[in-house]
Amino acid sequence: MYEYKSQQRTLEFGGVKIGGTPGLAPTVLIGSIFYSKDKLVLDPKAGDIDKPQTDRVLTEVADMSERTGLPSMLDVVASSSPAMRRYITYLADKTSMPLLIDGSGSQDVNLAGIEMARENGMLDRVMLNSLTPETSNEMYRKMQEAGLKSAVILTFSKDAMSSVAKRTELADQILAKATDSGLTNLIIDTGVVDMLTLGLACKAMQSIKDKLGYPVGCGAHNAVNMWAGLVPKFGKDAKNPALVGSSLMPVVLGADFVLYGPVKHAGIVFPSVAMIDTALSGVLLEKRIRPDRQHPRFRIG
């Protein structure tokens, strides 16, 4: 069912394994925190947060990860350098989950996060989100100087929006530049902006795994965020089923990770993905191959 020409890479990042053969390796779930209009954020410029509520959310996500057997990471979103520094410093002490530094395209904000991670001695569990065709040579140089080893590659551009082949080419090109800059832990986000590109992103995942063997995934929740007719036509009760459905599609098609959107959705996404991971492990029964005891198959029954 899942056969690729390239050997599949399994990376270890911040104590989390990511990549490999679908059905054997649990899907890594990445939730966003401190994003725009997140109620945990009191002042997005200064980086003030509601600490008791943040701690509660972190505990809930960690508990869901433990109960399902699905590894968890956090996509730390910030709109200013001071905010990113405060977020990274706070999370360094409050969770052992790997962190994605997401400055929403701002080089200065991303560099502030990388520098703060270096000062906190935690470069081994932070990952830049993301490297794109627009990432500057200066950014590559500064990442190398800081000693950063991990990044998400976003294979998305205006030209690649409607082309699986171009997304695969972008992955190859950015991989070459990233490895030349000393980055060794690289995962590939195939880029989703709406429902149609979710389909293309999933097809690109398969192409990239086949050609390059690197861990792949996507931000499937963006398809729901951009669905203008969802609530007007089907009501608010349709939002959660749509969110879960969007996150399950890439998993079924071989994703190694999924960015599922705000961490507040962990309670509905983790059990659903754990069920699919368990079902996919059944594909290997005929070959008498079974996942290890940490897999959702042995946690959720």
| Tens of pLDDT, residues 244-295 | 999 999 999 999 999 999 999 999 999 999 999 999 999 999 999 999 999 9
| Residue-level pLDDT at 31 | 99
Nearest to 135 by CA among 122, 152, 117, 147: 152
| Residue-level pLDDT at 1 | 78
Nearest to 9 by CA among 149, 291, 214, 253: 214
| Tens of pLDDT, residues 141-162 | 999 999 999 999 999 998 899 9
Q: How far apart are CA 234 and CA 76, in angstroms?
A: 31
Per-residue burial over 238-251, b if 16 or more Cβ lie within 10 Å, else e, is eeeebbbebbbbbb
All structural domains of the chain, each given as residue ranges with its CATH number in brackets, are: 11-296 (3.20.20.20)
Percent of the chain past pLDDT 70, that is, above it, reads 100
Give the confidence band of 49 by pLDDT, cuts at 50, 70, 90. very high
Q: What is the mean pLDDT of the chain?
A: 97
| Tens of pLDDT, residues 15-31 | 999 999 999 999 999 99
Q: How far apart are CA 96 and CA 236, in angstroms?
A: 34
Q: What region does 288 belong to: left with phi over 0, alpha with psi -120 to 50, or beta?
A: left
Q: Is the pLDDT of residue 92 over 90?
A: yes
| Tens of pLDDT, residues 165-199 | 999 999 999 999 999 999 999 999 999 999 999 99
The residue with tokens 């398809």 is 223
| Residue-level pLDDT at 74 | 99
Q: Is the pLDDT of residue 213 over 90?
A: yes
| Residue 81 Cα to chain centre, angstroms | 22
| Residue-level pLDDT at 248 | 99
| Residue-level pLDDT at 252 | 98
Give the confidence band of 234 by pLDDT, cuts at 50, 70, 90. very high
Q: Is the pLDDT of residue 82 over 90?
A: yes
